[in-house]
Amino acid sequence: MMKKSFLFVLTLVILAFTQCTNTTMEKQTVDQKNINDQVIEKVKKALVDKFENENEELIKRGVKHAASLWRSSDGTPDEFESFCLENFINDANEKQMVFDKISKNFESLWGHQNKIILDLNENMDLNNGPYHKVDAMFAAYSPGAHFSNDFYSNKIAFVIALNFPPYSLDEKNELGKSWNSLDWGYARMGDVFTARVPAKLSQAIGVANTNAGIYIAEYNVYMGHLLNNEGAKLFPEDMVLLSHWNLRDEIKSNYANKENGLEKQDMIYSVMKHIINQTIPEKVVNSGDYDWNPIENKAYKDGNEVQLTAEPDTRYQRIIDNFLTVKATDEYYPEYNTFIKRAFAGSKEIPQEEVEKLFDEYLSSPVVKEVGELIKKRLDRELRPYDIWYDGFKARSSISEESLNKITQTNYPNPKAFEADLGNILKKLGWEKQRAEFIASKVSVDPARGSGHAWGAEMKAEKAHLRTRISGKGMDYKGYNIAVHEFGHNVEQTISLHNVDNYMINGVPNTAFTEALAFIFQKRDLQLLGFTNENPDKEYLENLDQYWGLFEIMGVSIVDMKVWKWLYENPDATAAQLKEAVAGIAKEVWNKYFADVYGTKDEPILAVYSHMINAPLYLANYSFGTIIDFQIERYFAGKKFPQEVERIWSIGRLTPQVWMQKAVNENISIQPIIEATKEALEHIK
């Protein structure tokens, strides 16, 4: 997961889609819009006359947008008119010069803000000692909360709004087909100031998200203290797994375990259901003080059963806290007046309705039953709910976890050992030595407190960060697999910052596009360890694996979206009510799309993802990332991998559909992966 995508990028979304007003009550009472339509028309005419009808369309768009942001505290209508007449830039060369100056300064501002956020979150994100409440207080601080307030006060925001007005998503998708990189840079600068939100509300969002992040980062299960019904311990004494990521990956790793893998998987699923339902004893979370039988939900101390209180509904209170803080800003967004709209049409630049329709079409495809039947044959048993994570199509499913752990723990005893090998990893993937070393030099590897994440730089002078979880024994294979995924993020972050034509289009359309490259890297993890897959069915098996994985994550994404719709319909809900609703929604989605394949109903497993707590509405990015990954991998066939990676992720932050057209000459589509799955089924049969 790319953590920057919800912490820093959410901050930028707050800055780009939300801008702050004065926060004192005295000013709020008078700080109202004071530019009416009559004034707007007067100013438009004055500018058109001044420049003899040059740039008439841009004048109309810029004046209207600047007027929508102007408040009485910014000046009178006459002062607004004077400002526009004095600050509209009609000359193309001057406009580009101003654009370059603003871009350079934004890189410094946002880059240093990003560095401050990294520093203030260090004790939250890195495994460098225990938490103290002061760490959370610093992490909740947003150094950019007053950015826009200051820029409205000094009128720079209005210079930008007047000369670089925003375009709607439809306009970007249509006009953007013929835009050059400078046109796109102008449009992205127009996205920076589009609404004004009080700084205290922006700060509240940061506090809620920090609290959710702490909750998730500390949600470990001490696997060596789990008991089965015979009182036996199935997992190593020192195994500690973070929910949900490590629990899921432990399920995956046990498909190759013919001795007791199935019993381990069943036990982990019992743990997951207790987490979802909040019936897990509070004192077994992030603690090895008690032994716990999750099957019967009984706890023991020194061999004697003890009564422990269940965890309170903290999981769901964190969701509510996030919801209430972002909902409080809705009224400041004329176009995107719900967080759902901001997260999809705003941030992802794909409307939520289109996303849900696409996911429904994929999940309703009849081919899934055929894939399910094939998996049943390969497992030689009926499917169980956790088989949404079936890992048997991958080459590693035939390699023991122990042998893989031995290699990765030897190679990477600590984070710095992995950092030292980044250049070699790129060279193994085909990069030339000089370029590989440059990209590697822009990445720092740190010990993660949680499962690991990537955090990009926002200025060329800084490094991207790869956070990975490594025990005292060294990096196990699960950690290595995640670290390779995160390195894919870092490679994208570096290329899309350093290779784009201008700073304002640095990055990718949305986080799905960085997930795509992370998936592409992750799939090559065994290749990087020296394993080759000579199986003639390799391509077909990989296609089946991607199809099955996408089916799972789309289901989870649908749950995430439906939960947020429920929250907007029930804004005063308690944590207990939300808990019941989430379980109900997860079962509803399961019954609609999964039950016929798995043969069981009312399973809650789709509600286990931690993203729902600390990264709301992020999950759809994984689905789109897989779709984009598949289309790009297909495009890579017969081409040089490093050159295409460099070209594609240098396109810049266009809209998703325009980006895909430039990358692979086609729109985002689920049909290629469905057709490839049908072909794979025919071949495997």
Q: Which residue has the tokens 């998996």?
A: 375
d(CA 664, CA 603): 38
- Alpha-carbon distances of 38 from 44, 343, 389, rounded to whole Å: 10, 34, 60
Instruction: Give the tens place of pLDDT for each residue, 546-593.
Output: 999 999 999 999 999 999 999 999 999 999 999 999 999 999 999 999
Closest CA to 228 of 271, 257, 285: 271
Q: What is the reported pLDDT for 556?
A: 98
Give me the half-sphere count of Cα atoms (radius 13 Å) on the Cβ side of residue 294: 29
pLDDT for 1 equals: 63
Structure tokens at 224: 């060596």
Q: Classify 126 as helix, strand or coil.
A: strand
The token pair at 117 is 């956020």
Q: Could you give the CA distance from residue 405 to residue 302 in angstroms, rounded to a whole number? A: 32
Summarised one tens digit per residue, pLDDT across range 484-502 is: 999 999 999 999 999 999 9
* DSSP secondary structure string for all residues of 2-63: BGGGTTHHHHHHHHHH------SHHHHHH--B---HHHHHHHHHHHHHHTTTTTHHHHHHHH
**pLDDT value at position 99?**
98
Residue 298 main-chain phi, psi, to 5 deg: -125, 140
pLDDT recorded at residue 18: 38
Distance CA 454, CA 483 (A): 9
Beta carbons of 161 and 193 less than 8 angstroms apart: yes
Which residues lie below 8 Å from residue 541, measured CB to CB, with a gap of 6+? 393, 394, 535, 680, 684
Tokens of 503: 């700073």
For 128, the 3-state DSSP assignment is coil
Q: Model confidence over 209-224: pLDDT tens digits? A: 989 998 998 999 999 9
Strands 304-306 and 220-222: unpaired
The confidence score (pLDDT) of residue 124 equals 82
Residues 101, 102, 107: CA angle, nearest 5 degrees: 100
Question: What distances in angstroms separate CA 682 from CA 25, 370, 374, 676, one per listed residue?
Answer: 68, 10, 11, 10
Q: Enumerate the β-bridge partners of residue 300.
A: 291, 305
Strand partners, 466: 445, 454
Residue in 539, 550, 542, 537 with CA at minimum distance from that of residue 628: 550
pLDDT at residue number 195: 86
Cα–Cα distance, 308 to 305 (Å, whole number): 10
**pLDDT at 387 (0 to 100):** 98
For 278-366, where are the alpha helices, taking DSSP H only?
314-327, 339-341, 352-363
Distance CA 162, CA 46 (A): 14
All residue ranges of the chain with pLDDT < 50 are 4-30
CA nearest to 210, candidates 124, 145, 144: 124
DSSP assignment of 160-205 = HHHHS----HHHHHHHTTT--HHHHHHHHHHTSSS----HHHHHHH
Give the E-state strand segments of 500-656 in sequence order. none
Torsion of CA 18, 21, 23, 25, to 10 degrees: -130
Backbone angles phi, psi at 71, to 5 degrees: -120, 165
Cis? peptide before 244, omega within 30° of 0: yes
Distance CA 609, CA 248 (A): 9
Q: HEC string of 366-411?
A: CHHHHHHHHHHHHHCCCCCHHHHHCCCCCHHHHCCHHHHHHHHHHH
Contact partners, residue 301, CB within 8 Å, separation at least 6: 289, 290, 291
Q: How far apart are CA 150 and CA 111, in angstroms?
A: 18
- The Cα 401–Cα 380 span in angstroms is 21
Tally of CB atoms within 10 A around 272: 24
The Cα–Cα gap between 183 and 181 comes to 5
